[in-house]
Structure 1
Amino acid sequence: MVPVIINLEKRKIKNLIIPFFIFVLFNINDATSNENGKILAYAAGCYGCHTNNPTQPFGGGYKIKTKFGIFISPNISKNKLYGIGNWTQDEFIKAVKNGISPKHKPYYPAFPYNWYVNMTKSDILDIYNYLFSLPESTKKENNHILKFPYNVRELLWFWRFIESKISKNNNIENNLQENRGKYLVHSIAHCGACHSPRTFFSIVKDYNDFSGQKESSKLLNDSIPSISNNTNKGIGSWTESDLVLFLQTGIKPNGDFAEPDMSLIIEHGTQYLSDNDLNEIAKYLLKVNEK
């Protein structure tokens, strides 16, 4: 009788232990996913572009002044009326990777979906889950203030067609996670959104060209330099540690500080990446030749 009781007790303990470990495992995975989502939400510029009031993170309202007019970022909190609270995961992925809203409207390329297209679905869903873990913002969405004809959203379909014919090397093969630096530069960090040359109508000529933007194609106010490995025009004289420190603090090797637009990207974005990710970015960028 005693052995039977002992076996029953062992079975009860076993039945309790297995669910407990499954519960712990799932919670560890959720915590890891949520932390990754937070890092990516900052590194990808979600916070920097979609936060005007720090008390309402991701509530939108941030103004981006360009030669086309003023873009005003929308609310991307989980609020169902003003934010993305009604969006499914598939709708969020489509918006991020393809620049198409759940109502099948094209987003303006001020939203860098042409780089986010290279993000893995796993990374995108980590951002989605992180956003939905935060308090919602009740901030209403404001319309962009754009010049004619740029305020005609339907023309974006034509812009996309032209862009598909002109631009080179939009996608990286298989979301190259084994080349972590290349993956980050061409997706999450979207370095080329500012540092790749554009046409007058803001079409990126070559997504592998980081030689900066000229006045005729420049979107923002600051000068946009080359970040190729050219020693005269680019960052070829920088070491990997120089570039990592710059992406963490905004301090250049000569002691100068980053320009205002770049300093915001560092403050709200790249400084959140791990040392390993920043090192991988530095390794990759310092191999990119001037075009």
Structure 2
Amino acid sequence: MRLIPSLALLAALGAAAGWWLTAPKPLPAALTAGLTGDVAKGEQVFWAAGCASCHMAPGATGDAQLLLTGGQRFASDFGTFLAPNISTDPTHGIGGWSLAQFADAVMCGVSPEGQHYYPAFPYAAFGKMQVQDVADLKAFMDTLPADATPSLPHEIGFPFNIRRSLGGWKLLFLHEDWVIDGELTEQETRGRYLAEAMAHCGECHTPRNLLGGLQLSRWLAGAPNPDGKGTIPNITPAKLDWSAPDIASYLTTGFTPEFDSVGGHMAHVVENFARLPESEAAAVAAYLKRVPAAE
């Protein structure tokens, strides 16, 4: 009988520790204090990060892609995620967010209300971005039009709808280190920054475990398509044997060395890279040639 109070105390302490460990953790305020964003540089970040590709309305083309009304559906093993409105609308979008709130969302997956975002939003990659790039991104996005379309709720069932549990997911799978380390050239280092952080290539091209964490030992080795239709290709040298110039050309034109054309969501990636300096695609190509081959 004397054990009961002790066990209850241990359980309470364990619950308190778990609650503390899974709490959303925003960036230190000092990281964004005093930063000013550059709109022109932010536009480059916007396209490199593929913001419109996920947050434009379904089927949007041309200038309509800059109306970040949300609504696209992304199927997964955990349910279907719906991209939210991230336009400048102050009620239904992110208009009025401070830079600190914006950076917390992008780099930490923490909402202004202090809740975890689902990692369908690739903050696991964006967390490696430079804070100045995030400030530049916000400066550009603040110039985009507002849209009052309400965000639709995710279609996620129990237990995945318990957002607090994402704190545990972050403890397990958020990593500050680069996947590809060692001595890299300046071009390869830039390519790593684009591929591992800003353009978040690994989020689609790397297989995941049962909890949805990236299997870093099989980095960029390809993965099942989350919607159940086909696979996302292996882009390590084990399968992607194109030359670096051929890879760079594909990223900006959408044509393979065999003159096949890009399809699916990758078409958006090509559209985005075509808006960037050619040196960016060349940097990603140089990086991919340094990635270890993985079957």
Q: TM-score range by the shorter chain?
A: 0.7 to 0.9
Residue 243 of structure 2, aligned match among 233, 236, 239: 239
How far the C-alpha of 1:208 sits from its partner, in A, is 7.5
Q: 1:123 to 1:51 in 2, by over 3 A?
A: same
Which runs of no fewer than 5 residues in structure 1 stay unpaired? 1-29
Given that 2:255 and 2:262 are in contact with CA atoms closer than 8 Å, whether structure 1 keeps it comes out as: yes
Does the alignment pair 1:72 with 2:82? yes
Residue 277 in structure 1 maps to residue 287 in structure 2? no
Counterparts of 1:190 and 1:177 in 2: how far apart (Å)? 20
Separation in 2, partners of 1:98, 1:177 = 29
**Which consecutive aligned stretches of 4+ in structure 1 deviate over 4 angstroms post-superposition?**
167-173
1:187 is paired with a residue whose SS is: helix
Deviation at 1:37, TM superposition (A): 1.2
Q: Paired residues, what number?
A: 249
> Any idea what the Cα deviations from partners look like across 1:195-214, whole Å, max 9, x if unmatched?
1121022111217811112x
Match in the other structure for 1:263: 267
User: Do the aligned partners of 1:222 and 1:261 also contact (CA within 8 Å) in 2?
Assistant: no
Amino acid at match of 1:116: F
Q: 2:232 — aligned with what?
A: 224
> Which protein is bigger by CA-based radius of gyration?
1
Aligned AA for 1:290?
A
Letter in 1 for 2:55: H
Runs of 5+ unmatched residues, structure 2 = 1-35
C-alpha change, 1:38 and 1:46, in structure 2 (3 Å) is same
Q: CA offsets per residue over residues 85-118 of structure 1, 9 Å max, x none?
A: 1211011111111111111111111111011111
- Separation in structure 1 between the aligned mates of residue 185 and residue 135 of structure 2, nearest angstrom: 16
DSSP 3-state at the match of 1:65: strand
Shift of 1:264: 2.8
Alignment identity in percent? 31
- C-alpha separation in 2, matches of 1:170 and 1:239: 24
1:168/1:205 contact within 8 Å kept: no
Deviation string 1:58-90 (CA, Å, 9 cap, x unpaired) is: 121122122322211111122111111121101
Paired residue type of 2:248: V
Q: Which residue of the partner structure matches residue 141 of structure 2?
A: 131
Do the aligned partners of 1:229 and 1:290 also contact (CA within 8 Å) in 2?
A: yes
Q: Is the 8 A contact 1:60 1:73 kept in 2?
A: yes
